[in-house]
Amino acid sequence: MLISDNIYYCKNCKKVVKDIEDLLFVEDGSSLSFCSEVCIEKFYSPLIDYFTGKIDKKRKDLNIEEEACLSLLDNPTYVDRVLHRPDEIWRLENDLKEEIFSFISKVEFEGEEAYLVALCFVFDHTPSFVLALTASSNEYFIQNFQIGEEVDSLEDYHQKELPGESLIDNDDMEEIELKKSKLLAEMMTQRKEFDIPFEDFALYMEYLQKTVESYDELYEFDDEDGDQALAYFKAFERSGVSFFYIALCMRLEKEDQTLIIPVLSFPTIDGDLSNAYKQGKLLDGNKLAH
């Protein structure tokens, strides 16, 4: 048939794709869809420039152009926290029902309170594309992002990658977050420039469950704290691009149950990075090409 019932195409490059599963969505309630992260970035580039200019002007007006706390943006642990465990979320909606969210996280920096802010689109309660990322100790500056409607319940927006999370107490969560910080910092130092950007990781969260439930390879190893850890690997293809998804997990005994808790998960197109995590004992698999 010359024209099929369902034709899907990238809203940036207009490339026709075979299936809706090959498209990426970044805004809830919007039909805007893209074939790749590159097309998403190109499409929204003017909007990124717009907000960058607004932020730079406000900093200049307040004489806070070179705040020391801006160094927090170089720390992936803090960036991950504001995206996945924010302290505040504000939703701003225009007359076209288009939404932009401000995710805000409060941290301590050099003995003072500081704030990290991510201005972003949200898809399925997860930051899908970051339009601007900044940090400041100036509360007046932060008030510029506290506009619209404040989200009352943050639970739906906190990262849902912990099965059995209701059984995890605060001490367990602190241990998990500490391990995640260490693993994330290590992973970011090993990543190469051509790899999938950290800010695009949220676009791949759908692959976490698929990786753990139907992995290609599973390794068991001892982490730097001497605790037993698991590494799940699975190869995928999306829009003609092959990549690995890796889930680093820990075992947690709670109420006569053994929970497998994903501590850190991420995509990569770098075979060397993937192989770097294949350590310890191979429990199952060996289906991936080396």
Number of domains in the chain: 2
Shared domain for 73 and 146, answered yes or no, is yes
Token duo for residue 244: 């690995």
Check whether residue 255 and residue 133 sit in a common domain.
no
> SS3 of 145, please?
coil
Q: Name the residue among 35, 52, 51 with its Cα closest to residue 203.
A: 35
Please report the pLDDT score of residue 6 as a whole number.
78
Instruction: Report d(CA 84, CA 105) in Å as an integer.
Output: 10
d(CA 265, CA 73): 20
Question: Average of pLDDT values for 77-103?
Answer: 90
Q: Is residue 246 part of a domain?
A: yes
Cβ distance 101 to 123 under 8 Å? no
195 occurs within a structural domain? yes
Beta strands in the chain, from DSSP E residues, in sequence order: 8-9, 16-17, 24-25, 33-34, 88-93, 99-109, 112-123, 126-136, 149-150, 217-222, 228-238, 241-254, 257-268, 281-284
In a domain, 55, yes or no: yes
Q: In this structure, are residues 188 and 197 in contact, taking their beta carbons and an 8 Å threshold?
A: no
- Is 3 within a domain? no
Does 194 map to a domain? yes
Distance CA 14, CA 78 (A): 36
Q: Are residues 247 and 136 in the same domain?
A: no
Number of C-beta neighbours around residue 252 at 10 A: 18
Domain of 84?
Answer: 9-151
Tell whether 61 is covered by a domain.
yes
Query: Any bridge partners for residue 249, and if so which?
Result: 230, 262
The reply to whether 18 and 146 lie within a common domain is: yes
* Burial classification of residue 110, based on how many CB atoms lie within 10 Å of its CB (0-12 exposed, 13-18 middle, 19 or more buried): exposed
Do 217 and 188 lie in one domain? The reply is yes
Based on the fold, state whether residues 83 and 177 are members of the same structural domain: no
Domain edge (last residue) among 151, 176, 201: 151
Measured between its terminal Cα atoms, the distance across the chain in Å is 40
d(Cα 168, Cα 34) in Å, to the nearest integer? 37
In a domain, 159, yes or no: no
Q: Which pLDDT score is estimated for 159?
A: 55
Asked whether residue 232 falls in the same domain as residue 184, the answer is yes
> How many other β-carbons are positioned within 10 Å of the β-carbon of residue 226?
6
**93 contacts 81 by C-beta, under 8 angstroms:** no
Does 143 share its domain with 186?
Answer: no
Task: Return mean pLDDT, the chain.
Answer: 86
In a domain, 84, yes or no: yes
CB-based burial label for 44 (10 Å; 0-12, 13-18, 19+):
buried
- Residue scoring higher pLDDT (91 or 285): 91
Q: Say yes or no: 101 and 170 in one domain.
A: no
| Closest to 135 in 3D by CA, of 119, 154, 121, 159 | 119
State if pTM tops 0.75: no
What is d(CA 133, CA 52) in angstroms, rounded to the nearest whole number?
9
Residues 147 and 14 in one domain: yes
Q: Which of 124, 151, 178 is the last residue of a domain?
A: 151
CA distances, 124 to each of 76, 153, 175, 209, 266 (Å): 23, 15, 27, 15, 18
Q: Quick one: 70 and 128 in the same domain?
A: yes
Q: At 290, is the pLDDT very low, low, confident or very high (cuts 50, 70, 90)?
A: very low
pLDDT digits 0-9 by tens, 206-231: 888 899 989 999 999 888 887 888 99
91 plus 223 within the same structural domain = no
Query: What are the pLDDT digits (tens) for 245-268?
Result: 999 998 877 767 777 888 889 999
